[in-house]
Amino acid sequence: MSRLTPSSSSAISVARTGTVRLADVLAALTYALDLTEGQRPGHTLRSTLLAMRLGELAGLDREQSSALYYAALLKDSGCSSNAARMSALFGSPDQELKRNMRLVDWHDRWKLAMRTARSCGVGLNPYNRIRHFLMVAQTPTLTREIIQTRCERGAQIASVLGFPAATSEAILYVDEHWCGLGHPFGLSGSDIPILSRIILLAQTVEAYWSEHGTKAAVEMARQRRGTWFDPALVGHLESIRRDHEWWGRLADIEQIGETVVALEPGSVPTVATDERLDRIAFAFAAVIDAKTPFTARHSSNVARYAVAIAGTLGVDRTARRDLLRAGLLHDIGKLGVSNRILDKPAKLTEEELGEIRKHPTWTLEILDHVAAFRHFAPDAARHHERLDGRGYPWRLAGDQLSFTARVLAVSDVYEALTATRPYREGLTVAKVIDIMARDCGTAFDSTIFDAAVALAERGTFASLAEVTENGFDSLHSLVPATARHLAAVHVA
């Protein structure tokens, strides 16, 4: 079986051309957030376009516009945090559930009850559908708790990424309603930050517009004027309802990304420095790992293990940085997989396995949208391929698998086996090494596997995994630690 070494020309491709705009990176990554929320591709970008138009009509100054812009792009960054609970209570795929529930008026108890009943236990027998409906009905604080978790996590991610307090605040209060019956704090009227009011209207209008068109979206806003929405903002929306050229730009899925990036406030574009790109990768790793309680540290651990392995094999600092980011983002495609599958405590069916096996394809598609990450997107996505060609989803083999892909394959399996899963407890280091050794040379590169074994037996992997008990709660401390992860090369 042929091997690739760290010095091979195809080992790690590194792109270092031009300046990376922060708006470009975040706009591209919104496709992952749309996937998690079950929204049509481009939902967040269209919501941002709507928000910025409403902000302009509302007379926001430059500082407010900047805070609004990034809050709109990051409004769903906390969305994965409630997926497991929603799926468990409703007994339905979380993406479909979230899309359906976003279209209902919570203030209309009858409509809410009917939509909830239809959304419970989708695909299950009548008994289980009723059981899940009763579970939801017997949890009166469910909506508030789910929204609070989501909003607080999103606000914290915005803070970690270095955005101003106004951006975090806009995300935190985005589900507060003008009448005071929103969540999680029950703010009302002008007590709700203007940026939050704008984003709530923008995202709700976009959801209706995507499903039913402009007329229905504007009519929905009129009906909820003074309950959900600030009446003045609804007036601004009505003022542009006949601007067909503008609504046409909203519908142009091919150009929507460029349109939104061009709206970035300020005379000089904000640059995504290497440090900021690291922060973004760590932040989205937290989004990924929050999808299910059984992967609370998976992405960050895989990244740490991969960098440690590469360090012992003499990989240079620049390549290790790319490997760190690839490890953090390798499972971003799992945001498109239902928690009803991810958290299932029993053996998966062939159909469910098929859904799981789609996630590398989605990883590739998402990362390929991000110019700063595109050069390692294929390698990050190939972490389930094997040297003998029996991996998935592309069944690549041998020299088709780069050094990065091979390191991630070893790191991913090691982390998964040592971690607790819905169907078993985490395995001991000795047991994991014994299991993986059977596939050395067929699934795993033997040089990389040997390096991993040495690090595991020495306790290095265990030490790296102990950096945090919860990948998100310690995100503030994780981000500045990039240098420590890169310095793993010096492990003796």
Note the pLDDT tens digit of each residue in 101-129: 888 887 888 888 888 888 888 889 998 89
pLDDT at 476: 37
Q: Which two tokens stand for residue 286?
A: 């937290």
* CB atoms inside a 10 Å sphere around CB 165: 12
Q: What is the pLDDT of residue 18?
A: 56
What are φ and ψ of residue 314, in 5° steps? 85, 20
pTM of the model: 0.88
Question: What local confidence, expressed as pLDDT, does residue 211 receive?
Answer: 92
Contacts of 452-455 spanning 24+ positions with Cβ under 8 A: 452/305, 452/309, 452/410, 452/411, 452/414, 454/312, 455/305, 455/308, 455/309, 455/312, 455/491
Of 5-14, 21-30, 86-95, 288-297, highest mean pLDDT: 21-30
Could you tell me the two tokens for 174?
Answer: 């985005």
Judge contact between 471 and 296, C-beta under 8 A.
yes
Tokens of 405: 């892909």
First CA to last CA distance, the chain: 29
The whole-angstrom separation of Cα 166 and Cα 49 is 19
Q: Which long-range contacts (CB under 8 A, 24 or more apart) does 221-226 make?
A: 223/105, 224/105, 226/178, 226/179
**Helix residue ranges, H only, 138-273:** 142-160, 165-172, 194-212, 214-223, 231-239, 244-251, 256-262
Q: Which residues lie below 8 Å from residue 145, measured CB to CB, with a gap of 6+? A: 184
Indicate which residues carry an active-site annotation: 334
Look at 51-55, 81-85, 433-437, 452-456 and tell me which has the smallest mean pLDDT: 81-85
Instruction: Classify residue 349 by its DSSP letter.
Output: P
User: What percentage of the chain has pLDDT greater than the value 70?
Assistant: 91
